[in-house]
Structure 1
Amino acid sequence: MSVLTYGIIAYGVGCFGLFWLILGAGAFAPVGLSQWQAESVWLSLLVNMGLIGLFTLQHTVMARAWFKNWLTRFIPAATERATFVLMSGLMCCAIMYGWQTVPGVVWQLHNQVAMCSVYTLYVTGTAYLLLATFVTNHFELMGLRQVYLYFRDIPYQPLAFTNKFMYRYSRHPMMLGMLILLWAVPTMTATRLVLSVLFTVYTFIGIFFEERDLLKNFGDTYREYKQKIAAFIPGIY
C-alpha cells in the first residue's frame, strides 16, 4: 500500500468516525449498536467512562512529540498524522458502537420554535467546527497534505501559526463547535447526557495539553496570542 493510499483511507475512516459522533450526538445516527448491554446503570457508566478514557489516552499520547518521534522510527514521518487520524476515527467508531444505554430523559422540548432554535444551534456548532478545520488547513490537520507532499517528493514544510477569521476571537473554535453540538439537542436522554458530559471533560483535558505544546512550538507568539484571545467566547471564557 502506498503512503498516499494509506493517507486517503485514514482520512475516510477519520471522517466516518467524526461524523458518526456528530450525528449520534444530535440523535441523527444510532448510538450503542453492540449486542452486549450492561446489566446495571453503574456498569453502563463504567463502560462509557472507559471508552472515553481510552479515547482521551489515544488522543493525548499520540499528539505528544515524544510519541511521534518513537512512532516515526517504524513508519514514514509523512504518515504520522494520518495514523493519528486513523486511530482517532476507529476510537470514535468504538465509542459509538459500544456506548451503553443509561435510562431516563433529562429534558425534552415540545415547542416547535424552541426545537428549531436548538437544531439551529446544533447545525451552527457543526458548521463552525468544520469551517475551523479549513481555516487552519483541513488537509494538514487530517494528514492528507503530508502524504501528498511525500507522494510528489516535495519537502515538507510545517505551516506557520495562524490567527485568521474565527481564530482572531477564539483560540479553540473547533472545541467550541464540538461543545455546542454536544449540548444543543431538543431531547437530552441520560445516554446522550453521559456522552456530552464525558466529551466536555475530555475537551478541557485536550486543551490543557494542546496549549502546552503550542507554547513549546510557537513560544512568545502563542503566549501573546493566549493573553489577548479568549479560549472560546470573548469576554466570557
Structure 2
Amino acid sequence: MEKIISFIYGILSYFLFLFAFLYAIGFVGNIIVPKSIDSGTETNLLTAVIINALLLSIFAIQHSLMARPVFKKWITTFISPAIERSTYVLSSSLALLLIYWKWQPITTIVWNVENETIALILTGVFFFSWLMVLLSTFMINHFELFGLKQIFDNLKDKISQSPKFQTNYLYKIVRHPIMLGFMIAFWATPVMTVGHLLFSITTTLYIIIAVKYLEEKDLKKFIGKEYEEYQNTVPMFIPFTKK
C-alpha cells in the first residue's frame, strides 16, 4: 500500500509540474492563460515590486535549498527516498503557482517592437526556447529528473541507481541548456513591460548565481574529475566560448 501511495503521489506531482510548465509559457508570453505577467489590477509601484520580489525569493529559496545534497539527506529521514524527487518537483510547482496567482503587474512599457518581422522572430525564439527546455530534459533523463523513474523502481522493488553523467546533444554545446532556454524565453518578447523586466532580470541573476555557485559546486563534488574536464571544454551558457 505504501508503494502504491508513493506511486500515486509521484504521478500527481509530475502532472502538476506539467501544468505549471505549460502555464509558465502562457504566463510569461501573455497568451491564453487567465492570469499572465502583465494582466490583473495594478497596485502602486513600490507595493508591486516588494510583492513580486518576495514571490521570486520564495521560489529561489525553495528551489535552491531543496536541491542541495544536505537537504536531500535530511528529508529522506522523514520520507521515502523514492519520493524525494517528486516532493522537490511538487514544491517547485507550488511555488510557481504562487507566483502566477499573486504576481503584481507593472505594465509601463520598456520596449515595444513595432516591426512585424522582428516581432515575429522574437515570438518564434520565445516558443523555440521553451521547446529547447523540454527537449533538454529528455537529452539526459526526463523521467528521472522529475521523479517518475524513482517511483516506478520503488513499485517494482528496485533500488534506483544514482543518475549517470551524460553530455548528449545540446549538452555538448553548453553545460546547462535547460537554464539557457529559460533565460532566452524570459527575454524574447516584442513587448517588454517593467513587470516583465523585473521578472527577467531577477530570474536571470538567480539562474546564473545558483548554477555557478551552487549546482556546479555540487556536480563537481559528486562527479569529480570528469565534470572538471567537462567544465574546461564546454561553456556554461554561451555556446562556443571558453566559459
Give the TM-score of the pair, scaled to structure 2.
0.92
1:138-184 CA-partner distances (Å, limit 9, x unpaired): 00011111011001111211121011111011000001100111111
* Counterpart position of 1:12: 15
* Residues 33/153 of structure 1: CA separation in 2 closer, same or farther (3 Å cut): farther
Is this contact kept in 1: 2:39–2:105, CA < 8 A?
no
Q: Find the partner of 2:46 among 36, 42, 48.
A: 42
Deviation sequence 1:103-159 (CA, Å, 0-9, x none): 401111222211111111111111111110000110001111101100111121112
Identity %: 34
Q: Which consecutive aligned stretches of 4+ in structure 1 deviate over 4 angstroms post-superposition? A: 32-35
Residue 226 of structure 1 pairs with residue 231 of structure 2:
yes
1:199 and 1:75, CA in 2 relative to 1: closer, same or farther beyond 3 A? same
2:28 aligned residue: 25
* Equivalent residues of 1:33, 1:98 under 8 A apart: no
Partner of 2:172: 168
Please state if 1:210 is matched with 2:200.
Answer: no
The aligned amino acid for 1:3 is: S
Q: How many residues are aligned here? A: 236
2:88 and 2:142 map into 1 onto residues whose CA distance is 14
Aligned to 1:192: 196
Measure, in 2, the Cα distance between the counterparts of 1:66 and 1:34: 39
2:130 to 120, 123, 126: 126
- Selected match of 2:205 from 201, 207, 212: 201
Is contact 1:103-1:190 (8 Å) kept? yes
* Unpaired stretches in structure 2, ≥5 consecutive residues: none
Q: Cα gap change, 1:33/1:89 in structure 2, threshold over 3 Å: closer, same or farther?
A: farther
CA displacement 1:18-67 (0-9 Å, x = unmatched): 222232111123226998x6742112111111111111100111011111
1 CA distance for matches of 2:239 and 2:198?
Answer: 28
How big is each residue's C-alpha offset from its partner over 1:166-223, in whole Å with a ceiling of 9 and x where there is no partner? 1011000001100111111111111211111111111112202110110111010101
After the TM superposition, which residues 103-114 of structure 1 pair with which residues of structure 2 at under 5 Å, given as runs? 103-114=107-118
| Pair 230,98 (structure 1): closer, same or farther in 2 beyond 3 Å | same
The change in CA–CA distance for 1:108 and 1:33 in structure 2 (over 3 A counts) is closer
Look up the SS of the partner of 1:106 in the other structure.
strand
Specify the SS of the correspondent of 1:107: strand
Stretches of structure 1 lacking an aligned partner (at least 5 in a row): none
Q: Which amino acid in the other structure matches residue 11 of structure 1?
A: Y
Amino acid across the alignment from 2:233: K
| Contact persistence 2:38–2:105 (CA under 8 A) | no
Amino acid corresponding to residue 166 of structure 1 in structure 2 = L
Residue identity in the other structure for 2:240: G
Maintained 8 Å contact 1:118/1:185: yes
Q: Comparing 101-110 with 56-65, which one deviates more in the overlay?
A: 101-110
Q: Which amino acid aligns with 1:123?
A: F
Tell me the distance in 1 between the aligned counterparts of 2:44 and 2:123: 32
